[in-house]
Structure 1
Amino acid sequence: MYVANEKIKLPEDPDTIVWKYLDLSKFLDLLLSQKLFMSRSDKFEDQYEGTFSEPTFEEIKKLSQHNPEFLKFYKQRREKVVISSWHINEYESFAMWQIFTQNNEGLAIQSTVGRLQAALQADTTYQQSIGEVNYIDYKKEYIPFDDAFFPFLFKRKSFIYEREIRIICDASARVNPVNEGLNISININDLIEKIYIHPKSENWYKKLVIELLKRLDFDFLIEKSDLESDILI
């Protein structure tokens, strides 16, 4: 269930467009299971994920001198926080197609901040928050820690091209360990506004996606990619 957090930065307009780029197998898993996969934060490629900038870490070390459990809490928390990453953009992103899909195949889900909030109400097991990622200089800038989710909402400036918004969930109350991540229930019709098929995909692939959606009884609007031109010179 989505729970608003006033401390976390979020676009004011609920109609702010967000995207998720994924391959066909992950898309089908989302449709069939009606669950959204959220990855464990320390499984991301960025080794700084869920850590603090240098100024903040120095302060935390001082605070933990007489309370070692304080630092231990933050180290272990990375194993218990799960994340689903989305891309804020009014338009498609050529870079995102390149990064998150392969072999000119894949899809992009277009949604909005408001739709994410509504779709998350389907899950009654965990509470989720949504926040916009801040990009900072980890050697100079400070990451506040008055909210336990803040370390997961800051990244180095070298990742600014991602323009990321995140669904974040604390799974520390879970009895079993979180391995690769969690699947949380989602209202698929609230989540998806439109679907875009990879602009460089072959016609057979486009027809396959359309046929699969039809057989699964989904009638999502499929848009022609803005990066796919009918004009040949």
Structure 2
Amino acid sequence: MIIQRYMDLPKFVGLVQTRSLYFAKMSAFEDALEGGLTVDDFFKTSNAPAHIDLAINDIWPRAAETADERASRLKSSKLAQSEVSARQFPTPFGSYPRDDAERLFPACREWIYVSCWHQSEYECAAMWPLYGRDKNSVCIFSTDEQLKEAIAPDASYDSLEIERVKYVCHINDSFSGNSLDPFIAKSKPYAFEREMRVVAWNSDLDLSTLPKNENSGLLLGVDLGQLIQKLVVSPHADPWFKNIVKKLCEDARVSVEVEDSAIRMEPVSDIYQAMSYNQSRKPDA
């Protein structure tokens, strides 16, 4: 599966010089719905609805109820409350009491790290201004398999998954039950991004004892030769920029193809231009 990462020059320089890929923690994302629950999944995760139901139906006195009947009912109610409190909800870090879901579930976003990629065989005009940001920017082409193999093992995580993001309505939709589902989902207005997401976390962490994560993310080492299939230069880049990208790669001893953006192609206007483009066609084109 072909994936792409659009980045400005400082980010690309950082990638090349550190040979590390930046993973942001989920709580740093601007979209507050990322890593959140749908309405249906909140009811499945939190004990609050069950406790409210027990309080309304079992605690208040009933008409014409005898003292013995009330004592028996309250005893049954306490047993039901104990059963409810014993329920747990799953997370990528293990299972925790549902009574603590509203406190602990958001903590997952503090300790799950993400690298976001765009899934497409061709470069995307909309991605350049959104994620390339500066006119002098590049797009890395890779594949999901290359990316996973390129990331070096690290003590910061023991779990790493590459998943296609699911676009959901947080009011009407539900997750499948996989504990990772909320962290590989985004709101439907972002569906145009066609995101592939690399998710890294340490499953041995105990959410109930962890403080707020003071780091904005982490750097994971990568094999650049394995990671980068080719580089495409922004269609808005200055004329000198392509040579800068080539020099950066040469200095880092990364042998990759650096191409101009397809968006920059001039329309075919004469036989010489048509012949020139014909010579550059790939064998399977």
Task: Give the structure with the higher percent helix.
Answer: 2
TM-score normalised by the shorter chain: which range applies?
0.7 to 0.9
Q: 1:73 maps to what in 2?
A: 104
2:30 maps to a residue whose letter is: E
Q: 2:168 maps to what in 1?
A: 136
Q: 2:37 maps to what in 1?
A: 52
Distance in 2 between the 1:198 and 1:153 partners? 28
Shift of 1:232: 7.7
Distance in 2 between the 1:72 and 1:17 partners? 38
For the residue of structure 1 that corresponds to 2:123, the secondary structure is coil
**Aligned 8 A contact 1:40 1:178 in 2:** no
Shift of 1:62: 3.3
1:197 maps to a residue whose letter is: V
Shift of 1:178: 5.0
For the residue of structure 2 that corresponds to 1:211, the secondary structure is helix
Identify the match of residue 123 of structure 1 among 115, 130, 153. 153
Distance in 2 between the 1:167 and 1:217 partners? 26
Q: 1:83 maps to what in 2?
A: 114
For the residue of structure 1 that corresponds to 2:197, the secondary structure is strand
Identify the match of residue 161 of structure 1 among 161, 179, 192. 192
Alignment of 1:191-202 (within 5 A): 191-202=227-238
**Aligned 8 A contact 2:233 2:260 in 1:** yes
Distance in 2 between the 1:214 and 1:124 partners? 27
* Deviations, residues 202-228 of structure 1 (Å, cap 9, x unaligned): 111222222222233222111221111
Distance in 2 between the 1:207 and 1:185 partners? 26
In structure 1, list runs of 5 or more residues that go unmatched: 1-15
Alignment of 1:89-108 (within 5 A): 89-108=120-139
Shift of 1:23: 0.8
Q: 1:35 maps to what in 2?
A: 20
Residue 113 (structure 1) aligned with residue 144 (structure 2): yes
Seq. identity, %: 26
Alignment of 1:179-218 (within 5 A): 179-218=215-254
In structure 2, list runs of 5 or more residues that go unmatched: 52-84, 86-97, 270-285
Distance in 1 between the 2:150 and 2:265 partners? 33
2:32 maps to a residue whose letter is: Q
**Aligned 8 A contact 2:4 2:141 in 1:** yes
Distance in 2 between the 1:178 and 1:129 partners? 23
Q: 1:3 maps to what in 2?
A: none
Q: 1:228 maps to what in 2?
A: 264
1:141 maps to a residue whose letter is: D
Tell which deviates more after alignment, 187-196 or 52-61. 52-61
Identify the match of residue 255 of structure 2 among 215, 219, 226. 219
2:153 maps to a residue whose letter is: D
**Aligned 8 A contact 2:16 2:249 in 1:** no
Distance in 1 between the 2:147 and 2:259 partners? 20
**Aligned 8 A contact 2:225 2:255 in 1:** no
**Aligned 8 A contact 1:80 1:178 in 2:** no
Cα distance change on mapping 1:40 and 1:104 into 2, 3 Å? same
1:189 maps to a residue whose letter is: G
**Aligned 8 A contact 1:80 1:172 in 2:** no
Q: 1:9 maps to what in 2?
A: none
Give TM-score, length-normalised by structure 2.
0.70
For the residue of structure 2 that corresponds to 1:94, the secondary structure is coil
For the residue of structure 2 that corresponds to 1:203, the secondary structure is coil
Give TM-score, length-normalised by structure 1.
0.85
Tell which deviates more after alignment, 210-219 or 221-230. 210-219
